[in-house]
Amino acid sequence: MKSRFFSCLIILCLVFIQTTLNAQGIPAWAQDLEFEYLTPRTLYAGLDGNPKLRVRITNNGNSPVNYFGFDFRPDGENQNFPGCATHPNGGLINLEPGESTVVAVWSNCYFGDGLVLPEGTSEHVAQFRFSKDNEDFHIEETFTIVNDRERTTPELSDGDNMTISGTISVAGGYAPQINLKVKTVQSQEFNVEVQASGPSQYSFSFSAAERDDWYLEVTGGIPNQPEINFPNKTFKVASFNDSEEIEIYWAPLDYEYQVQFELEQAIVTPTGFWRGAVSEAEETVVFIPGQENWSGNNDAEKNIYRNQSTIYKYNFAGEKLWEYQPGYECWGGDMSPDGSRVVYQLVPNGGTYGVGVLDGADGSLLWKKEFTEFGPIARSIEGLEAVLSNDASLMAVGTVPTGVVTLFDTETGDLVRQIPNAPDGIENWGQIRKMAFDSNDEYLYIGSGDNYLRKVRVSDGQLQWRAFIGGWPFVNGLIFSSDESFIITGTKSFDQARVNTETGETVWINDTGSLEAALSANDELVINFGGHIMSAEDGEYVGFIRQGAESHFIANDEIIVKMDRDIKPFYTNGKALGASPASGGGLGGGEQSQWSYISSDGSLAIIAYRDMVTDPGNQVGIAFYNGSVERIALDPNDDPSDISLSTSSLNENNEEGAEVGTFTATDPDANDTHTYELLTDAADNALFAIDGDKLLAIETLNFE
C-alpha cells in the first residue's frame, strides 16, 4: 500500500514504548504490539492545516490480538472533544500476527475546536489510549504547533528553506499575463513574482520551506482575447529532478466551454435531506429526509420538525409524484435503479427503531418493522444506512452500535442473513455508514467505523477481504469504477483511497483534510468535497479548486461542477467558468447541500439541502436547474514542430552573401508565416546571416 499521510515518519522503537508502558503496567495482551508515530513532530498551521495524528500498530507476536478499543485525550485533559474525533470510530481493533493498522485522531481540537491554540509556538501532548477486558494503557506523544495561519510567504523564518526556480515557456508566440502561485496540499496560495526573460519566456525564483509537497499553479491569459483559452496548470515541485531547474510549458487549449444553468424550481420543504437516489432508467429522484442540526432548545422542540420528515419522489421534469411521512428523520434510504422500490431507515435517537419498504410507483407502504423496545430485530436495524440491491430483492441495513449488517427480503420482510453475526455476537465492525452492491448483486461492499472496507459474498455472507481506507465512507464516499475493477472511497476521517475489488489491496490513500469522493466517467480523476483533484491511478494531486461542495464530472469529464447554494462549473484543470443563480437554499452554516445529482451532459441538475435552522418550514429544500453546456472549438496558434533547411552544404571559396539554403517550418497552422533567427552565442554566428527564410554565408568559407 502506498501511503501519503505525511512526509515525515518517526518510528518509536519498541524498547522506548516498553519502558514508558511498564511504568503503568503494560497488560500481557499488548506485549507484542509495536507502535509507530506517523505525524511530523512540528506542525505549521499555515502549511500543514490540521493533519490527523496517526499511530501505526503492528502485531509482532505469534498470536492474534483481537477486540481491543481505542480512545484519545489531548493535552492532559480528562475528556476528548469532537474536534479530536477518533478513528476507529466505533468497532474494535483486530490484528493477526504480522498485521498492522493505523489509528488516527483529528487534530482540530488543538486548533480551537475544543482547546485554545496559543499564539506563536506551543508544545502539546497526544495521549493514545487502548483497552481490552478492563485492562488499559496509553502512549503519549509530544509535538509542536507553530501558529502561523496568517503567514504571507512560503518561506520559514526559523527553519530550513529551499530554492524553487525555473522557467515558463509559452506556446504559440503569445505573451499572456501570467500569475504564478505556490501552495502545499493544505495551505493557502502564495503569490510568486514572474519576470519576462525573452520572447514568450518567463522566469521565477523564490525561497520556500524545505518540504516535498509544494505545488506550482500557473494561471492567466491574454486580456480582451477570451478566444485564447489558457488552462490552469498544476505542477508538483518534487516531480522535477531539480527544484532549481524547473521547466514549465504552457499552451492554450483548442476548445472552450460556454456553460449556463438556470433555476427552474426552488421547492420549500418542512425539513432538510440527508441523501437522495436517482433512477435514470425511470427519470425519477427520491429525497431521504435527515438533518445534523435541528431548530429548538430541547428534544421536544426539535421533534416538532423531526416528526414532519417527508420522503419525496419527483420526476426529472420537477413534478412531484408522491410523498410519504415515515414519522421521523431517516439517514438511511435508497431507491432501486428501476425505481420500483424505495427503502428508509429511521434514525434511532427518536426511540423508535424502524425500517420500511415503499412501492416506488405510488409511495404506498409495502411493509415496515418498528420497535420501541430492544430485541433481536430492533438491534439489527438500529443504524443509519440502508441500501437496495440492483434487482430490488434485498435491503441491506447497517447498524451503528453493534457493527453488523442484516439482509431483508424486500417482498416479505423476512430476515435473510446477518453479517458477520447477530448484533449480540462477538464481532463488531464499527458503525456501518456506507454500503453498495456490485452490479450483479453478487457482492456487498461495506464501509465501517473500524477504518475498513469489506467485500462480502451475498449468497452466504462470507468475507472475501478487508481493506484499510482510514475511516467510514461518508454519504457520497463509495464509488465504483466503470468496470468495477476498483473502488474510490471518501471517508469521515478525511481520507480518499483506491481499493482493488479483486484483491482488496489499498492502492493508495491520501489524507486530504476533506471527505467524500467523485470519480470521472473515464476513471482517471478523483475530486473530494474540498476540491482536491487527484489522479485515480496513483493518487497524485493534479489540481485544486478552492470550493467546498458536492462535486460531479460532466461533458466527457472536461468539466467539474460544484453544487451547493448555486452551481459553479470549472474546467477539470481548475479554471472557473462562472456560476448559476442562487437557489435560495442553504441559508446558514450546516444548511449546505449534502446530496446532489447532475446528468452527464449537464442538462439537468438537482440539489437537496440538509439542515434547516435559520427559518425552518420556510426554507428551500430542493432545487431543480436546467443546464446548457456547449463545447466550442478554437484554433490557437501552435508552435512549429520542426525546422528543415533545403541544403546543408556550400562549396568553399564562395562569394560573400551566397545563399546556403531555404528554411521550411513544419507547423500545424498551415497558413502561419514564420521568422527565423540564429541561436544566441552559437560558435559560427559570425559566418552566417538570415534574410527572410534564406540562410546566407556572409564570409568566404575556406577551411584549407
CATH of the domain at 357: 2.130.10.10
Reported as a pLDDT band with limits 50, 70 and 90, residue 3 is very low
Among residues 214, 205, 212, the alpha carbon closest in space to that of 168 is found at 205
Average pLDDT taken over every residue of the chain = 92
Do 206 and 69 share a structural domain? no
Quick one: three-class SS letters along 28-70?
HHHCCEEEEECCCCEEEHHHHCCCCEEEEEEECCCCCEEEEEE
Q: Please say if the pLDDT value at position 383 is more than 80.
A: yes
Mind listing the pLDDT tens digit for each residue in 659-677?
888 888 887 776 677 888 8
Same domain, 244 and 271: no
**Residue 619 covered by a domain:** no
Residue 393 gets which letter from DSSP?
S
pLDDT tens for 102-136 read 999 999 999 999 999 999 999 999 999 999 999 99
Q: Which of the listed residues 236, 252, 268 is the one where a domain comes to its end? A: 252
Same domain, yes or no: 106 and 191: no
Residues 417 and 444 in one domain: yes
- Has residue 451 been placed in a domain? yes
And the C-alpha cell for 536?
A: 485515480
Confidence check: pLDDT of 314 > 70: yes
Looking at the DSSP bridge assignments, the partners of residue 452 are 468
Residue 397, phi-psi category: left (phi > 0), alpha (psi -120 to 50), beta (remainder): beta
Instruction: For residues 419 and 458, give the distance between their C-alpha atoms in angstroms, rounded to a whole number.
Output: 10
Task: Reply yes or no on whether the pLDDT at 648 is more than 80.
Answer: no
On the 0-12 / 13-18 / 19+ scale of CB atoms within 10 A, 440 is exposed
Domain encompassing residue 283:
258-553
Instruction: Give the C-alpha separation, 315 to 1, whole Å.
Output: 43
How high is the pLDDT of residue 645? 87
In angstroms, the CA 117 to CA 41 distance is 16
Domain count within the chain: 4
With respect to residue 563, please indicate whether it lies within any of the assigned structural domains: no
> CA-CA distance, 631 to 255, in Å (whole number)?
7
Confirm whether 172 is domain-assigned.
Answer: yes
332 and 231 within one domain:
no
Between CA 360 and CA 127 the distance in angstroms is 50
Contacts by 544-551, CB closer than 8 A, 24 or more apart: 544/183, 544/215, 544/217, 544/234, 544/574, 545/570, 545/574, 548/514, 549/592, 549/593, 550/476, 550/516, 550/518, 550/593, 550/594, 550/595, 550/596, 551/516, 551/518, 551/527
Residue 593, domain member (yes or no)? no
Q: Is the dihedral of CA 431, 495, 445, 461 positive or negative?
A: negative
Average of per-residue pLDDT across 442-450: 97
Query: Averaged over 465-476, what is the pLDDT?
Result: 97
62 plus 26 within the same structural domain:
yes
* pLDDT bucket at 433, cuts 50 / 70 / 90: very high
- Please give the grid coordinates belonging to residue 161: 528553506
pLDDT (0 to 100) of residue 14: 32
Q: Which of 534, 439, 435 lies closest to 481 in space, CA to CA? A: 439
Interatomic CA distance for residues 575 and 226, integer angstroms: 13
Query: If we measure between CA atoms, which residue out of 281, 260, 423, 275 comes closest to residue 340?
Result: 281
* Grid coordinates of 668: 500545424
Q: Is 14 strand, coil or helix?
A: helix
d(CA 185, CA 245): 22
Please check whether residue 389 lies inside any domain of the structure: yes
In tens, the pLDDT along 242-297 reads 999 999 999 999 999 999 999 999 999 999 999 999 999 999 999 999 999 999 99
User: Do 78 and 129 belong together in one domain?
Assistant: yes
Residue 671 has a pLDDT of 65
Interior angle at CA 455, CA 62 and CA 498, nearest 5: 90
- Give the residue from 553, 577, 599 where a domain finishes: 553
Query: Mean pLDDT over residues 643-649, rounded?
Result: 84
Residue 227 has pLDDT above 60, yes or no: yes
Confidence of residue 319 (pLDDT cuts 50, 70, 90): very high
What confidence category does residue 653 fall into, taking pLDDT thresholds of 50, 70 and 90?
confident
Half-sphere exposure of 177 (CA within 13 A, CB side): 7
The mean pLDDT value for 635-652 works out to 82
Co-location of 195 and 71 in the same domain: no
Mean pLDDT for 442-448 is 97
**Cα gap 596→608, rounded to integer Å:** 6
C-alpha cell at 238: 518534487
The CATH number for 206's domain is 2.60.40.10
Q: What is the pLDDT of residues 27-41, one digit of tens each?
A: 999 999 999 999 999
The β-bridge relationship of strands 53-59 and 100-105 is antiparallel
Q: Are residues 270 and 355 in the same domain?
A: yes
Query: Which residues touch 681 (CB under 8 Å, ≥6 apart)?
Result: none
Residues 25 and 11 in one domain: yes
Same domain, 9 and 143: yes
The DSSP call for residue 253 is B
Q: Which amino acid is at 420?
A: P
Quote the distance between the C-alpha of residue 22 and its chain's center.
41
* Residue 521 CB coordination number (10 Å): 13
Domain membership of residue 617 (yes or no) is: no
Q: Which amino acid, residue 649?
A: S
704 pLDDT tier (thresholds 50, 70, 90): low
Phi, psi at residue 9, to the nearest 5°? -125, 115
| 574 contacts 179 by C-beta, under 8 angstroms | no
Name the domain boundary from 252, 287, 304: 252
Output 15 or 533, whichever has higher pLDDT.
533
Q: Do 8 and 97 fall into the same domain?
A: yes
Within a domain: residue 417? Answer: yes
